[in-house]
Chains A and B, each alone.
Chain A
Amino acid sequence: MDLFLSLIQLLDSSLRLATPLVLAALAGLYCERAGIVDIGLEGKMLGAAFAAATTAYLTGSVWAGLVAGIAASVVLALLHGFACITHRGNQVVSGVAINTLVMGLTPVLGHAWFREGGQTPALSNGTPFAGVQLPYVPVDRDAAMALIVQQDPDLRTLRQLTNRLEAGDADLAARIDALLVAPTPVISWIMAGLQGFANGTVDFVTATRFTPIELPLAETLAPVPILGPVYGELISGHNILVYAAVALVPLTAWVLYRTRFGLRLRAVGENPAAVDTAGISVARMRYQAVIVTGILCGIAGAYLSTAHNAAFVRDMTAGKGYLALAALIFAKWRPVPVLLTCLLFGFLEAMEARLQGVSVPLIGEVPVQLIQAMPYILTVVLLAGFIGRAVAPKASGIPYVKER
Chain B
Amino acid sequence: MSIDAEPVPGTAAGGTGGASAPPAIALIGIDKRFGTVHANRDVSVDIARGTVHGIVGENGAGKSTLMSILYGFYQADRGEIRVNGQPCRIGRPEDALAAGIGMVHQHFMLVDPFTVLENVLLGREGGARLSGGLADARATLERLAREHALEVDLDTPVGALPVGLQQRVEILKALYRGAEILILDEPTGVLTPQEADHLFHILRSLRDQGRTIVLITHKLREIMAITDAVTVMRRGAVVATVPTAETDRDALAELMVGRKVLLRVDKTPAKPGPVLLDVAGLSVADGRGAARVKEVSFQVRRGEILAIAGVSGNGQSELMAAIAGIRHPTAGRLAIAGRPIARTADAHDTRRLGIAHVPEDRQREGLVTSFEANECAILGYHDDPAYNGPVLMHHRAIVADCVAKMQDYDVRPCNAHLPGGNFSGGNQQKLIVAREIERDPDLLIVGQPTRGVDIGAIEFIHQRLIALRDRGKAILLVSVELDEVMSLADRILVMFDGRIVGEIAAADADERTLGLMMAGIAPEAPPPGRPPAPLAKSA
Measured in the bound complex, the distance between the Cα atoms of B173 and A274 in whole Å is 11
Contact with B along A313-341 (1 / 0, CB 8 A): 00000000000000000000000000000
Q: Would you list 11 pairs from A and B whose C-beta atoms are within 8 A, ordered by A residue?
A: A261-B128, A263-B118, A263-B130, A267-B111, A270-B113, A270-B114, A271-B109, A273-B107, A274-B119, A279-B94, A404-B34
Q: Which of A259, A261, A275 lies in contact with B122, CB distance below 8 A?
A: A275
Which residues of A are found within 8 Å of B129, using beta-carbon distances? 258-260
In the bound assembly, the distance between CA atoms of A280 and B97 in angstroms comes to 11
Task: Answer yes or no: B73 CB below 8 A from chain A CBs.
Answer: yes
Known: A270-B112, A274-B111, A278-B93. A264 touches B131 (CB 8 A): no
Interface residues of B, Cβ cutoff 8 Å to A: 34, 71, 73, 92-94, 97, 103, 105, 107, 109-114, 118-119, 121-125, 127-131, 133, 173
Q: How many residues of A contact B (CB 8 A)?
A: 22
5 interchain residue pairs of minimum CB distance: A278-B123, A279-B94, A274-B109, A260-B125, A277-B109
Interface residue? A87 (CB, 8 A): no
Is A159 close to B, CB under 8 A?
no
A260 to B129, CA, bound (A): 6
Would A277 and B105 count as touching, CB distance under 8 A?
yes
Which of B73, B97, B122 touches A274 (beta carbons < 8 Å)?
A: B122
A271 nearest CB neighbor, chain B only? B111
Question: Which of B93, B118, B119, B125 has a CB less than 8 Å from the CB of A276?
Answer: B93
**Supplied contacts A262-B130, A278-B109, A280-B122, 7 more A-B pairs, CB within 8 Å:** A266-B114, A267-B114, A271-B110, A274-B111, A274-B122, A277-B73, A394-B112
Known: A273-B109, A277-B103. A264 touches B122 (CB 8 A): yes
Given the contacts A276-B93, A277-B103, A279-B93, A267 and B128 also touching, CB distance less than 8 Å: no
B111 contacts which chain A residues (CB < 8 A)?
266-267, 270-271, 274
Q: Is the CB of A271 within 8 A of B130?
A: no
Q: Which residue of B34, B71, B121 has the most chain A CB atoms within 10 A of its CB atom?
A: B121
Q: A232 to nearest B CB, angstroms?
A: 38
Does the CB pair A259–B105 fall under 8 Å?
Answer: no
| Chain B residues with CB under 8 A of A404 | 34
Find chain A residues with CB under 8 A from B131 CB.
Answer: 258
For residues 349 through 404 of chain A, which have their beta carbon under 8 Å from a beta carbon of chain B?
Answer: 394, 402, 404
Task: Look across to chain B and name the residue whose beta carbon is closest to the beta carbon of A402.
Answer: B73
Chain A residues with Cβ below 8 Å from B110 are 271, 274
Q: For the complex formed, measure the closest distance between the CB of B154 and the CB atoms of chain A, giving whole angstroms.
A: 15
Q: Given A276-B93, A277-B109, are A263 and B121 also a contact pair (CB < 8 Å)?
A: yes
When distances are taken between beta carbons in the complex, the residues of chain A under 8 Å from B128 are: 259-261
Please give me the residue from chain B that is nearest to A270 by CB atom: B111
Q: Identify the closest chain A residue to B93 (Cβ).
A: A279
Docked-complex contact A260 and B93, CB < 8 angstroms: no
Q: Nearest chain A CB to B510's CB is how many angstroms away?
A: 37
**Cβ–Cβ < 8 Å partners of A394 in chain B:** 112
A266 to B118, CA, bound (A): 11
> Which residue on chain A has the smallest CB distance to residue B92?
A279
Complexed CA–CA distance, A394 and B113 (Å): 10
Collect the chain A residues with CB atoms within 8 Å of residue B92's CB.
Answer: 279
Q: Cβ of A274: which chain B residues have Cβ within 8 Å of it? A: 109-111, 119, 122
Q: Chain A, 70-109, contact with B by CB distance < 8 Å: what is the 0/1 string?
A: 0000000000000000000000000000000000000000
**Cα of A317 to Cα of B58 in the assembled complex, Å:** 58
Q: What CA separation (Å) do A278 and B123 show in the bound complex? A: 5
The interface residues of chain A lying within 8 Å CB-to-CB of B97 are: 279
Q: Is the CB of B113 within 8 A of A280?
A: no
Q: A264 contacts which chain B residues (CB < 8 A)? A: 122-123
Residues in chain B near residue A266, CB distance under 8 A: 111, 113-114
How many Å from the CB of A253 to the closest CB on chain B? 13
Contact between B34 and A259, CB atoms less than 8 A apart = no
Report the separation of the CA atoms of residues A253 and B131 in the bound assembly, to the nearest whole angstrom: 15
How many Å from the CB of A401 to the closest CB on chain B? 12
> Which residue in chain B gives the minimum CB-CB distance to A395?
B111
* Distance A260 CA – B125 CA, assembled complex (angstroms): 6
Q: Which residues of B contact A277 (CB under 8 A)?
A: 71, 73, 93, 103, 105, 109
Contacting B at CB under 8 A, from A244-289, are 258-264, 266-267, 270-271, 273-280
Measured between alpha carbons, how far is A402 from B110 in the docked complex, in Å?
A: 16
CA distance A275 to B122 in the complex (A): 7
Give residues of chain A (99-125) contacting chain B, Cβ–Cβ below 8 Å. none
A278→B122 contact, CB < 8 A: yes
- Nearest-CB distance from A73 to chain B (Å)? 25
CA distance A185 to B117 in the complex (A): 51
Shortest C-beta distance, B234 to chain A (Å), equals: 19
In the complex, what distance in Å separates the CA atom of A258 from the CA atom of B129?
6
CA of A275 to CA of B93 in the docked complex: distance in angstroms? 10
CB contacts (< 8 Å) of A261 on chain B: these are 128
Complex CA–CA separation, A261 to B113 (angstroms): 17
Closest B residue to A267 by beta carbon equals B111
Q: Measured between C-beta atoms, what is the minimum distance from B441 to chain A in Å?
A: 35
Contacts of A271 in B (CB 8 A): 109-112
Q: Quick one: given A266-B111, A402-B73, are A260 and B127 in contact (CB under 8 Å)?
A: yes
Give CA–CA (A274, B118) in the complex, Å.
12
A271 to B125 alpha-carbon distance, docked (Å): 17
The docked-state distance in angstroms from the alpha carbon of A279 to that of B129 is 19
> What residues of chain A lie closer than 8 Å to B119, measured between beta carbons?
274
Chain B residues, Cβ within 8 Å of A258: 129-131
Q: Is the CB of B112 within 8 A of A280?
A: no
Residues in chain A near residue B112, CB distance under 8 A: 270-271, 394
In the docked arrangement, what's the CA distance between A109 and B111, Å? 46
Residues of A close to B114: CB separation below 8 A: 263, 266-267, 270
Q: CA–CA, A273 to B107, complex, Å?
A: 10
Q: Tell me the minimal C-beta distance from B496 to chain A in angstroms.
A: 28
Instruction: Give the nearest-CB partner of B118 in chain A.
Output: A263
Contact A259 B109 (CB under 8 A): no
A158–B131 CA distance with the chains assembled, in angstroms: 63
When the two chains form their complex, are residues B130 and A260 in contact, meaning their CB atoms are under 8 A apart? yes
Contact of A279 among B105, B123, B127 (CB under 8 A): B123
**In the complex, which residues of chain B have a beta carbon less than 8 angstroms from the beta carbon of A267?**
111, 114, 122
Q: Tell me, rounded to whole Å, the shortest Cβ–Cβ distance linking B410 to chain A.
A: 26
The closest CB in chain A to the CB of B131 belongs to A258
The one of A263, A270, A273, A275 that contacts B125, using a Cβ cutoff of 8 Å:
A263
B65 CB to nearest chain A CB (Å): 8
Compute how far the CA of A264 lies from the CA of B130 in the bound complex, rounded to whole angstroms. 11
Distance (Å) between the CB of A57 and the closest chain B CB?
A: 39
Question: In the complex, what's the smallest C-beta–C-beta distance from B407 to chain A, in angstroms?
Answer: 30
Residues on A with beta carbons closer than 8 Å to the beta carbon of B118:
263
CB-CB < 8 A to A262: which residues of B? Answer: 130
